[in-house]
Structure 1
Amino acid sequence: MTAPRLLLIQPDPADPPGPLGEWLVRAGANLDVRIPPEESLPDTLDDHDGVVCLGGGMNAEDDARHPWLAGLRSLLSSAAARDVPTLCVCLGAQLLAVATGGSVAPGHDGPEVGPSLVAKKDAAWMDPLCADLPLMQDVFQFHSDEIAQLPSRAVLLASSPRYPNQAYRIGRRVYGLQFHIETTPEVVRSWAANSRTKADAVRDSAFDDGTLARVHADIAETWEPFVGRFVDLAAGRLAPAEVRASSLPIVDG
């Protein structure tokens, strides 16, 4: 059985791969982990079967403080253009959106933080990674910016009342998730301690031990199989999505 080699990009030391990395390995992937700017990104994806890009505390276009973001967006643009299997989480999903013609802006309704649910859109029921997800999926939110506009050829896969662009696909194999599935209770508590603006946006019970343990158990139950399907997609064991010809993003449902 082929073990796909995945480039895993960690833009922020404070957001490690966590369970997501474990799920990828358990599903049979080999990981090439890069933490820029200390570790450079490859010029091409010729030596990789797929890409995973994690989150971070910076903004998607914060090039003045993080000039290496331009190269990361270029790499994600190349992945989307070549339809390389790609999975981008939170900041990663924002970087992917900007790199492919969408836009990111400060959240119009303030920070979205804490345990949450997102709902499948109609297109998700026909998507190879999302079809087997439940109608409502447990996730963890921790973002101040939003994906204000999806790229023109994006398919919306999941939404929520406050911020509709929660999960999307570009082409047949490229995915963005605005929310987190890679966190642990310890990571979340460290974020809350270092970002009081976001942490103060939710009730204190969102960060208590019982709540964090419960939500991360629910996230694992839902999202580990999803990650396994992504590895199968990268390995060529799972057929990619079928794309209908359209000049507009598919957002209804």
Structure 2
Amino acid sequence: MTFVLTVVQNAPDVPLDRLEGWAQDATLTVVRADLGEPIPAVDELGDGLVVLGGHHHAYDDSAAPWLPAVRQLLADASRSEVPTLGICLGAQLLAVARGGRVQVAAPPGTEAGVVTIYWRVEAVSDPVAGPLVAGLTERRATPQPTLHSDAVVDLPAGAVWLASSNQYPYQAFRIGSAWGVQFHPEASAATLREWATRDGDVDTEAILAEYAEREAELVGIGEALVGGFVDHVRAVAAARVSA
């Protein structure tokens, strides 16, 4: 069945990227918040919501005046049984929206390149991460691309902690009907190059070389994880229609 996903984009160079191809049976409505397009209300979302990353921090309301509306939308969607996925900044906004805390320029420093994500036992039965994690070895580890220096340091009350890395503990979590991931399952090499070049303090060529060496694996894992979310949206939409 066809279903509708609303996508909030927070920066011109942080697009859907590979995610667009992984949701081919969805009607995608992209809201360019960074260009001043209005943030929809929860009852205007359709069947699901994705909030992408960006270069602002989660509290940067003066430079990014749309952020309060995005935080409110994330709070409303996660409480209204609307399947929601926040990626990087989107995950940080979700955490703050539900009462968690993000540290800007966190002391461990920038986490960049291909990092190992360690999935907790709670992820095995998770509706979104479960299909990926259940097929892993007992170590339950997957590589994923990332580039961030802000981080969730306190999860919201009631959140389910799903994954960590060696540098930052809260790499994935679930709260209500929403999931947040600190890493970028959707990122291609071209997108990573843009981000690393813009950052200026990371070794762009080293990041790209590591990505190229493991690209097939990274794409497969990203597709499995995002596919788990897309399947969940589809199932929730189908159940709503048949109810």
TM-score (structure 1 length as normaliser): 0.86
Contact 1:85 / 1:233 at 8 angstroms: preserved in 2? yes
3-state SS of 1:56 partner: coil
Secondary structure of 2:23 counterpart: helix
Aligned-pair CA distance for 1:89: 0.5
- Residue of structure 1 equivalent to 2:208: 207
Q: For 1:15-57, what per-residue CA distance to the aligned partner results, in whole angstroms no more than 9, with x for missing partners? A: 11111121012xx211101111422221233441000111011
**Equivalent in the alignment of 1:243:** none
Gaps of 5+ in 1: 241-253
Q: Match of 2:191?
A: 187
Instruction: For 1:149 and 1:140, locate their aligned partners in 2 and report how far apart those are by CA, in whole Å.
Output: 22
In the alignment, what sits opposite 1:45? Answer: 43
Once residues 231 and 220 of structure 1 are traced to their aligned partners in structure 2, the CA distance between those partners, rounded to angstroms, is 16
Q: CA deviation at 1:122?
A: 1.0
**Structure 2 residue 124 is the aligned partner of structure 1 residue 125:** yes
| Distance in 1 separating the partners of 2:130 and 2:198 | 36
Moved more, 126-135 or 71-80: 126-135
Letter paired with 1:36: A
Q: 2:31 aligns with which of 11, 24, 34?
A: 34
SS in 2 for 1:233: helix
Output aligned runs, 1:18-167, within 5 Å. Answer: 18-25=17-24, 28-38=25-35, 39-105=37-103, 106-133=105-132, 134=136, 135-167=140-172
The Cα of 1:83 is off from its aligned counterpart by: 2.2
SS of 2:95's equivalent in the other structure is: helix
**Structure 1 CA distance, aligned partners of 2:141 and 2:169?**
14
CA displacement 1:185-241 (0-9 Å, x = unmatched) = 1111111111113x15xx852233xx322333222111212222212211226999x
Instruction: Give 1:84 deviation, angstroms.
Output: 0.9
Q: 1:151 to 1:239 in 2, by over 3 A?
A: farther
Cα contact 2:185–2:225 (8 A) shared by 1: no
Query: Between the two proteins, what is the percent identity of the paired residues?
Result: 38
TM-score after normalising by structure 2: 0.89
Kept in 2: contact 1:124–1:130 (CA 8 A): yes
Q: 1:189 to 1:155 in 2, by over 3 A?
A: same
Assess if the C-alpha contact under 8 Å between 1:229 and 1:238 holds in 2.
Answer: no
Task: Return the letter of the residue paired with 1:166.
Answer: Q
Unaligned runs of 5+ in 2: none
User: Secondary structure at 2:6's aligned position in 1?
Assistant: strand
Distance 2:198 2:43 in 1: 34
Aligned residues: 231
- Contact residue 128 and residue 239 of structure 1 kept, 8 A: no
Q: 1:48 to 1:37 in 2, by over 3 A?
A: same
1:114 Cα deviation from its structure 2 partner? 0.7
Q: Report the 3-state secondary structure (helix = DSSP H, G, I; strand = E; otherwise coil) of the residue aligned with 2:215.
A: helix
Runs of 4+ in 1 over 4 A off after TM superposition: 237-240
Amino acid at match of 1:150: L
Instruction: Tell me the SS of whatever aligns to 2:196.
Output: helix
What is the root-mean-square deviation of aligned Cα atoms in Å? 1.9
> CA shift at 1:131, angstroms?
1.9
Q: Which amino acid aligns with 1:34?
A: V
Superposed displacement of residue 65, structure 1: 0.7
AA of the residue aligned to 2:129: C
Change (3 A) 1:178 1:47: closer
Shift of 1:118: 0.4
Equivalent residues of 2:95, 2:156 under 8 A apart: yes
